Amino acid sequence: MLSTATKVLVALFLVSTHKTLPFAYFCRFYYHIIRQFILTNWTYHEKRLNTFGFTKPNDLFNWVTLKSRVSPLEIDMYLHKSNSTYFLDLDIARTKLVMRVFQKLFWNCYKNVHGEFKTTGFANMPYAPIATVQASFKRELKPFQSFDIKSKVFAWDEKWLFILSKFVTKGDKLHTIAVTKYVFKKNGRQTFKPVDMLKDAGLYSEEVEAQNAKNYPLVSHMASIEDLERVAHELN
């Protein structure tokens, strides 16, 4: 039989490693979908406005924060948060951001507001495969250190939506910065143009487009990787 002290230590360890337990990713991912979409059903339809404050174009570039802590099982041989684990956290942070910013868009698709789908339901929901993630690691994160992942819509073109994320600690000290290139799909393989998404969400304006014109050159190098793909195929 395990002693009480041992049970307490095991319980504390499991709590501290909750991010890396079996099915933890699944639970964390769908928590934000349920929280941001399903649980806001009544409030959203009562107000007919985004329930997270993204109600006008000027709100588009606001940060959305995900709080987290370095788990013991995320540590590498240097006793820092392993580089690979940043991308798992980014998945969750981006999910929270997208579900909040585009809440109105998702509801419009679900309800088939524009009549572009055959019926109503979750099958209408756009999905967002990731094309590229570029990260720059500035400072390490230590075991059990708490940190925030702040993400926001940064730029877009005819096909791609770019999300900027940063890992920061107290005092907004920057540890890692990442840019993710998304493409949104609907009706199977049809590309959902970012401008159309912003308009449907009520977040598009000339001022927003002007800011995008300033931001896009900073990420335009990620828009196409055709040359890299060609080289990858040639180097057999």
Q: Which CATH number goes with the domain that contains 32?
A: 3.10.129.10
Q: Are 2 and 10 in contact (CB under 8 A)?
A: yes
Give the per-residue pLDDT at 24: 83
Q: Is residue 232 part of a domain?
A: no
- The count of other CB atoms within 10 Å of the CB of residue 105 is 24
- For each of the chain's 236 residues, which pLDDT tens digit applies? 667 766 666 666 666 567 877 888 888 888 888 888 877 777 777 777 898 999 999 999 999 999 999 998 899 999 999 999 999 999 999 999 999 999 999 999 999 989 988 899 888 989 999 999 999 999 999 999 999 999 999 999 999 999 999 999 999 999 999 999 999 998 878 899 999 999 999 999 999 999 999 999 999 988 877 676 676 777 65
Non-local (6+) Cβ contacts of 2 within 8 A are 10
Tally of structural domains, the chain: 1
Structure tokens, 185 = 């799909």
Cα 206 to Cα 174: distance, rounded to the nearest angstrom = 31
Q: Is residue 107 part of a domain?
A: yes
Structure tokens, 228 = 């890299």
Q: Is residue 130 part of a domain?
A: yes
Cα–chain-centroid distance for residue 159? 18
Cα 200 to Cα 102: distance, rounded to the nearest angstrom = 9
> For helices 103-111 and 83-101, what crossing angle results, to 10°?
60
Give the per-residue pLDDT at 18: 72
**Beta-sheet pairing, 130-137 with 146-156:** unpaired
Structure tokens, 205 = 């304006």
Q: Is residue 40 part of a domain?
A: yes
Would you list the DSSP string of 145-214?
Answer: -EEEEEEEEEEE-SS-EEEEEEEEETTTEEEEEEEEEE--EETTTEE--HHHHHHHTT---HHHHHHHHH
144: left (phi over 0), alpha (psi -120 to 50) or beta: left
Q: Is residue 194 part of a domain?
A: yes
Cα 70 to Cα 22: distance, rounded to the nearest angstrom = 17
Give the per-residue pLDDT at 187: 83
Give the per-residue pLDDT at 224: 79
Q: CA angle 217-212-156, nearest 5°? A: 80
Q: Is residue 236 part of a domain?
A: no
Which is nearest to 153 in space by CA: 176, 135, 180, 130? 180
Give the per-residue pLDDT at 9: 66
Q: CA angle 68-21-87, nearest 5°? A: 50
Q: Is residue 228 part of a domain?
A: no
Domain of residue 30, residue span: 4-222
Q: Is residue 24 part of a domain?
A: yes
